Every structure is written in C-alpha cells, then in structure tokens.
Chain A
Amino acid sequence: MKKLIALLLLGTTFWLSAEAQVSDFLQRSQVHGSFQVDGQFYRPDEALGITDSLINGRKIGLNGFGNIIYSLGKFSAGIRYEAYLTPIAGFDPLLDGSGFPNMWASYNDDRFSITVGSFYEQFGNGLVLRTYEEWSLGYDNSINGIRVTYEPVKGVIFKGVYGTQRFFWDKYEKNDRGIVRGLDGEFNFNDMFSSFENSKIRLILGGSMVSKYQIDANPIYNLPENVASFAGRAIIGFGKFNISTEYAYKINDPSAVNNYIYKEGQAFIASASYSTKGLGLFAQFKRIDNFSFKSDRDVTVNALDISYLPAITEAHTYALTSMYPYATQPNGEIGFQLQLNYKVPKKSRLGGKYGMGIAVNYAQVNDIDHQQVNDTTFVNQRGTLGYKSDFFKFSDHVFYSDLNIEIDKKFNRKWKGIFQYIYQTYDIATIEGHPGEPIVKSHIFVADITHKFTTKQSLRGELQGLWTKEDMGNWTAILLEYTVSPHWFVSLTDQWNYGNPIVEDQIHYFSASFGYTRKATRVQFTYGRQREGIVCVGGVCRQVPASSGLSFTITTNF
C-alpha cells in the first residue's frame, strides 16, 4: 500500500514536472526575427546617361534578407537568409546570389559564453579587429568559426576568436584566404578592486593580439605567412573628464593595398572630453600609418577587413552636406577634430522659452610625412621598406577639412528649426582617385524648418545650397515632407545642379516618396531620380551610380 502511494506520488510529480517542463520550455522559448526587402525598378533616362543597353534587361534590382533568432534561457541560435537578385545598382556585383550566409549557435552563462558559426566581434575601438554587418552598404566581414568569452572575476573579460571571414558567397576552401585568430583582455579596475569602487578615478585597460595566417604563393616576393598585430588601450575618467586612447602595431604585411611594401603598420587614436550639464567639449587626435589589415593580402575591394579604421570627421546627413564624404585613407593619414556642444539655457535672452542648441565641429585630415628609406629607393617603392615617417608630423597635403556650425531652436509650440553652415575642402583626386582634379572647396548652408499643425500633423521643409567653383559647381536642394504621426509620410524633393559648367548637365533630380509605418513594419516607395554619389556608414563607403525609376523598401520585425 505504502509502495503504491509512493509510486502514485512519484508518478504524479513526474507527470507534473514533465508537464511543467514542457510548458516551461514553450514559455521560455522565444523566436524573434526581422525581414527587409529593398527593390528598384530601373528605367532609361537619357539626361542621366542611362540607356536601354546600359540596363541590359536587368530592369529590377532586389536586395532582401530574413533573420531568425531562437533563444531558450542560456542557449540561442540564429540563421540569416540573403538574396541579391540582382544586386541593386551600386552594390558589389559579387553579391549576386542567394542563400544562408550566416548561421550560429551560442551558449551564454553568466561568466562564460561560446559561439560557433558566424559572429560579429570588436576588440577595443576595432583597430586590430572588428567584424560587422552593414546592410545599407552590402558589407559583411563576419568571422565563421568559434568565439569564447570568459569573465573569471567581476571587471575582467577575456575573449578569443578563431575562424575565416565572409567573402560574399565564396565558402572558405583550403588556403583561398587567411585564417584570423585573436585574443583580447579588458580590466576594469573599479570593478576588480573594492577599494577602487567608489574612487573618483575610473580606469579601464585592455589589450589585444590578432594574427592572420595566409600561405605565401607569390612567385616574386617572400611574404610573411603569419602577420601579427597588437593593440593596447586605456579609458581614464576623473570627474567630468574622460580620456580614451588606443595604439596598435602590426608587423610588415605587404599587400595589394599598400603596394607590397615591407613596412610595419601603426594606428593611434586619442580622445578627451569634458561633459557637464548643458556643455560638452571634445578633442580627438588620430594617426594611421600603413594599417590596412585584410585576411587576404591580394584583395582591394570592400571586404575581408580585419581592422576597422574609423574616419574622425563629422558624418553629415543632409543631401548636399554629404555630397563629399571623407573616407579613411588606410595607407596613411593624420588628423584631429574639435567639438563643442552647448545648450543655451531656457528662459535666457538667447535661449528663449525652450533653450537653444549650438554645435561646432572642426576636423582636418592630412597626409602623413613620407621620407625615402635610402637614396636609391623612391617613396612607397614596391618590394622595399616603403618609407620613413615622423610620428607627429603633418604633411602639407590636406586630404579633408570641415568646419561645421549647427544651431537648433524651438521658437514656439508650432515652429522649430535647424540651421547649419559648413565650409569644406575635399581632395577629390586622392579620396575618389581622380588624379589631376583640383581640391573642391565648398560652402554649404541648410535650413530645416518644421511646422506643427496639430499634435499629429506637421510639415517640414529643407532648403539647402552648396556653392563651389570646382567639380560640378553649385547645387541647390529643396524638400517638403508632410507627416501624420505615427503612420504616414509623403515627401517631395528636388536637387538641382544649376551651376554645372556643362549646361546640359544642369540636371534636376526630382523624386517623390511615400511611406507607411505600423509598429515595426515600414513600407516606403520613392519614384524619381537619384544622383550619383557616395554612401558612407562608419568607415566604409559605397559608390552609388545615378539611377532613375521606382524604388521601395519593406521592413518588419517580430
């Protein structure tokens, strides 16, 4: 009898527990994901030089992806589908195709995690390792391999990565590209030592080591098969001051990007800021010397980057302000930027009822100093040590400079505006590789005014002008955008190259857009002309050809 009761009890608890585990399993299982499709229908447009033969039957460009992430407690896994059928104009033709480029599984404990498959990682500022994905550029340098992170005590994190990088749709095959290996450690002194916990000084130190292995199959040169790089970083805070710095060193790594020179590489970034209520000051210095680091030394396209070399110039967003965007020169540059952010207080004479925001930024980037290594070798000669360079010396060659003043002000409940003035110099010969073209000096002005009719309806207008004697001459742009929160928008824009020295190139780039958003789903259509230009996000840029026709984006998330 006792036995029977015990058995019943056991049976019931097992049943309960199994039931609970199943429902618990279902309850704790989560599936999330997102989808996006960007498409473009092209039409011939004689004024832009787009003819039927150029389109060549490829009337539709379509980029799409789907992402699914499954998680159950400490376990998660993901899969990503991508299709470029055919890639939208301006994306690398190597993207043509479809499939599952990215699959991963991960176990994440409080102190320990392991990921297998494709993953994204960044050590420090990314100088020696950053893998990331940027849909708008068609860029993905994810590592396919293994990543482990370990936190032995509070405030200390170690990371290790091992694998090969994505190169469009090419699956890794033996020796067709390098293998990347990396280790990183970060030490937060305020977390590690209890005596430091309430200190006014905050200190974080970190160090990384990344190496790539690629066989040497070069018939002429004897190339290093293992290229090691090292980086050290510090973040120091005291009160309202914050200092962040990182230095990276790489052994000689002759490559197609640096013209196969045997020089070692260096990268250095230092920034300091002061932040208090209503005021922020910022200064940054950067030097890059022969620091392109790719997992295939023979590749020059935007792919397989191990290092990430951020541009330190302001990322402009208005149409004409982003006409001449700067991109880091991995073979060498030295520069600085200074920034002020200030909020004129509310109820002051200048600030008015709502206050007024002021932002000023100046950035300049020059070429580094180059000296011959000896009398018989010219600078950057293939197969030599390349050049010598003084670390802190700015050469006279200015790649880019940018003075930017922005004011934002709310006048009353109905009206507000943003006003921006920029003076820019842009060495188009170096940055875009058009030898012989003069430096483009431009003045740019933007007024962005918003008028609220009701709490839900508003009209926004932009008026922009770009004045330059070089390149394509003067531009003006106008935009009108009507929004009904939270669902609808419709906008009209025209960019007009009225100052082009070639009269038939004084083209209007007219377009109309319409969009609908509901929760995390957004549908947008644009019809009209798109001007030739460069789209940059982060440190990577993409050349976009002029196009004409209908484009759309559908994006959703669940």
Chain B
Amino acid sequence: MKKLIIASIFSLITLFSFSQSSDKNTNLPSINIKTLDGQTFNTQNITNDGKPVIISFWALWCKPCKKELDAFNENIEDWQDETGVKIFAISIDDSRSTAKVMPFVSGKDWEFDVLLDPNGDFKRAMNVNMIPHTFLLDGDGKIVYQHTSYYEGGEFDLYELVKKVANGEDIKVKH
C-alpha cells in the first residue's frame, strides 16, 4: 500500500519534472562556438530576456552579408529602443581569417555581438546552405522566421516582423 502511494508520488514528480524540462527558453542546438577573443561560447546562451533575437550568418568574403550588417548597424539604436531586439552576427570565416574578424568589426564600429563559427558547426546544425542567412527568434527562443540573401531595404522587411514578434503576434501563420 505504502509502496503504491510512494510510486504514485514518484510518478507525479517525474511528470512535473518532465513538463518543466520542456520549458527551456531556447530551441537552438547546443554548439560550442567562439567569441571574438577566442573564448568558448555555447549557442544556447543566445537569448534576450524574452525579447526578439536576430541571428545573422556572415563572412568577411561575403559582400551582401556585410551590407546587411551595415544596414542593421545604421538602425540598431532605434530598433533596440523600440523593441529591445538583440542581434548576433555569426561569422563563418575559417582559420584563414578568424583572427581578422575582430579588427574588422572594430573598423566597422558595429554595435552588436559578433561570434565565430570557424568550422561551420553552428552553421551546419542550423542547416544554413548559403549566406547571408538570417533567423528571427521570438521571446521564447523559437525560430519564427528565416531568410536567405540580402537586397537593399531587406532590413525594413525584417524589422516589420521584429515589431510583430515584440508585440507577441504569431507571425508564423501569416508568412
């Protein structure tokens, strides 16, 4: 009898612990990449306190990528004031030029986080075929939109979606 009750309580605890484990605040894979100064950074730390996140894959050899990030940089102050969005630019430059990324970013005066994915581990886990490739995450860390390539003005299309996500709208249905 006692055993039965204990078993019930035990399975109830399992039930709760299970439902809790699915509350994790990100749906990103767990991959170790690097910060610009060589520290290890796990991609599950790409979060923003319940606010939207933009992840953009780029490289030094990719002109449209740099144009897109320049365009983000021009608008980032306004965007952050209005929606609290955070941008993570993931460089997939390999060891030929990983050491050049930090001085390049300084020279560009970009005001968002830049991370290094020198062997494409994060890129592969996110199924990125071509760059620029941009993801938009909602406050729960779920990918709600993604886009490959960049054309002039593309940043405004993306920002319209950022605003909707920041307001809690479900954009997955409409797009």
Say if A and B assemble together: yes
**Which residues of chain B are near A275, meaning CB under 8 Å?**
102-103, 105-106
8 Å CB contact of B37 from A237, A276, A340: A237
The answer to whether residues A520 and B119 also contact, given A204-B39, A485-B152 and a CB cut-off of 8 A, is no
Binds A, one of B6-14, B46-54, B78-86, B162-170: B6-14
Interface string of B119-130 (1 = CB under 8 A from A): 111001111111
A517 is contacted by which of B1, B30, B147 (Cβ under 8 Å)? Answer: B147
Residues of A within 8 A of B120 (CB): 120, 132-133
Q: How far is the CB of A404 from chain B (nearest CB, A)?
A: 13
> For the complex, what is the distance from the CA of A271 to the CA of B32, rounded to whole Å?
23
Nearest A residue (CB) for B4: A6
CB pair A125–B15 under 8 Å, yes or no, is no
With most chain A CB atoms within 10 A of its CB, the pick from B95, B128, B154 is B95
- What 0/1 pattern do residues 75 to 110 of B give for CB contact below 8 A with A? 000000000000000000011111110111111110
The residues of A that contact B8 with a CB separation of less than 8 Å are: 6, 9-10, 13
How many chain B residues sit at the interface, stated as a range, is 35 or more
Task: Determine if A520 and B15 form an interchain contact, defined as CB atoms under 8 angstroms apart.
Answer: no
Chain B nearest Cβ from A125, distance in angstroms: 4
Contacts of A132 in B (CB 8 A): 94, 119-120
- The reply on A2 being an interface residue by CB < 8 A is yes
Q: Produce 1/0 per residue, A287-304, CB < 8 A to B.
A: 000000000000000000
Q: For residue A241, give the distance in angstroms from its CB to the closest CB of chain B.
A: 10
**How far, in angstroms, from A69 to B30 measured CA to CA in the complex?**
13
A122, B151: Cβ atoms closer than 8 Å: no
Q: Which residues of A contact B29 (CB under 8 A)?
A: 71, 76
Q: How far is the CA of A489 from the CA of B106 in the complex (A)?
A: 32
The residue among A17, A343, A359, A558 with the most chain B CB atoms within 10 A of its own CB is: A17
Q: Is A282 an interface residue when CB atoms closer than 8 A count as contact?
A: yes
- Assess whether A271 is in contact with B99, with CB atoms less than 8 Å apart: yes
Chain B residues closer than 8 Å to A21, beta-carbon distance: 18
Query: Is there an interface contact between A278 and B119, defined as CB atoms closer than 8 Å?
Result: no
User: CA separation between A69 and B124, bound complex, in Å?
Assistant: 9
In this assembly, does B45 line the interface, its C-beta being within 8 Å of a C-beta of chain A?
A: no
For B134-150 the 0/1 string (1 means CB < 8 A from A) is: 00000000000111110
Chain A neighbourhood of B129, CB < 8 A: 34, 36, 135, 555, 557
**Residue A385 is within 8 A (CB to CB) of chain B in the complex:** no
Pairwise interchain contact A17-B14, C-beta atoms closer than 8 A: yes
Contact B102 A2 (CB under 8 A): no
Q: Residues of A contacting B11 with CB < 8 Å? A: 10, 13-14, 17
A135 CB → nearest B CB, Å: 7
Pairwise interchain contact A273-B38, C-beta atoms closer than 8 A: no
Alpha-carbon separation in the docked complex, A126 to B98 (Å): 12
Contact of B105 with A483 in the complex, beta carbons under 8 Å: no
CB within 8 Å of A: which of B9-36?
11-12, 14-15, 18-19, 21-22, 27, 29-30, 32
Q: Flag whether A174 is at the interface (Cβ < 8 A).
A: no
A274 at the interface (CB under 8 A from B): yes
What chain A residues lie within 8 Å of B61 (beta carbons)?
Answer: 315, 317, 537
The smallest beta-carbon distance between B165 and chain A, in angstroms, is 15
Bound together, the chains give a CA A65 to CA B149 distance in angstroms of 20
B109 engages A278 (CB within 8 Å):
yes
Query: Quick check: is A200 within 8 A (CB to CB) of the other chain?
Result: no
Contact between A343 and B151, CB atoms less than 8 A apart: no
Residue on B with the closest CB to A488? B151
Q: Does A384 contact B (CB under 8 A)?
A: no
Q: Please, which residues of chain A bring their CB within 8 A of the CB of B15?
A: 13, 16-17, 20
Which residues, 538 to 557 on A, are CB-close (under 8 Å) to B?
538-539, 555, 557
> Is there a chain B Cβ closer than 8 Å to A342's Cβ?
yes
Q: B146 to chain A: which residues have CB within 8 Å?
A: 519-520, 557
Given contacts A275-B105, A315-B60, contact A310 B175 (CB under 8 A): no
- Complex Cα distance, B34 from A204, in Å, reads 12
- The one of A188, A450, A520 that contacts B148, using a Cβ cutoff of 8 Å: A520
Contact B94 A341, beta carbon cutoff 8 Å: no
Chain A, Cβ-Cβ closest to B135: A520
Closest to B7 in A: A10
**One of A24-32, A88-96, A248-256, A429-437 contacting the partner:** A24-32
- A522 and B149 contacting across the interface, CB-CB below 8 Å: yes
Q: Are B107's CB and A359's CB within 8 A?
A: yes
Contact status of A32 and B127, CB under 8 A, knowing A27-B22, A71-B29, A520-B147: yes
* In the complex, B156 has a CB within 8 A of chain A: yes
Judge whether A67 and B127 touch: CB under 8 Å. Answer: yes
Q: How far is the CB of B76 from chain A (nearest CB, A)?
A: 14
Task: Give the nearest-CB partner of A276 in chain B.
Answer: B106
Q: Which of A190, A456, A538 contacts B94 (CB 8 A)?
A: A538
- Cα A235 to Cα B118 in complex, Å, equals 15
Q: Given A14-B11, A520-B133 in contact, is the A202-B37 Cβ separation under 8 Å? A: yes
In the complex, the chain B residue whose C-beta lies closest to that of A9 is: B8
Q: For B107, list chain A residues within 8 Å (CB).
A: 278-280, 340-343, 357, 359
Q: Closest residue of chain B to A278, judged by CB?
A: B109
**A308 at the A/B interface (Cβ < 8 Å)?**
yes
* A519 touches which of B14, B74, B125, B175 (Cβ 8 Å): B175
List B contacts of A157 (CB < 8 A). 32, 40
- Taking a contact as CB atoms under 8 Å apart, the answer to whether B106 and A277 are in contact is yes
Contact B5 A522 (CB under 8 A): no
Q: Does B5 contact A485, Cβ atoms closer than 8 Å?
A: no
Residues on B with beta carbons closer than 8 Å to the beta carbon of A537: 61
Give bound CA distance, A20 to B105, whole Å: 47
Q: Which residues of A contact B12 (CB under 8 A)?
A: 13, 17
22 contacts between A and B (CB under 8 A): A2-B1, A6-B8, A9-B4, A73-B21, A122-B118, A242-B102, A278-B106, A281-B103, A310-B94, A310-B95, A317-B62, A343-B107, A359-B104, A454-B153, A457-B153, A485-B157, A486-B147, A486-B154, A489-B149, A519-B146, A557-B127, A557-B128
- A36-B129, A277-B109 are known contacts; what are 4 more A-B pairs with Cβ within 8 Å? A242-B99, A275-B102, A555-B130, A557-B127
Among all A-B residue pairs, the 6 with the closest Cβ atoms: A341-B107, A280-B103, A310-B96, A275-B106, A483-B151, A458-B152
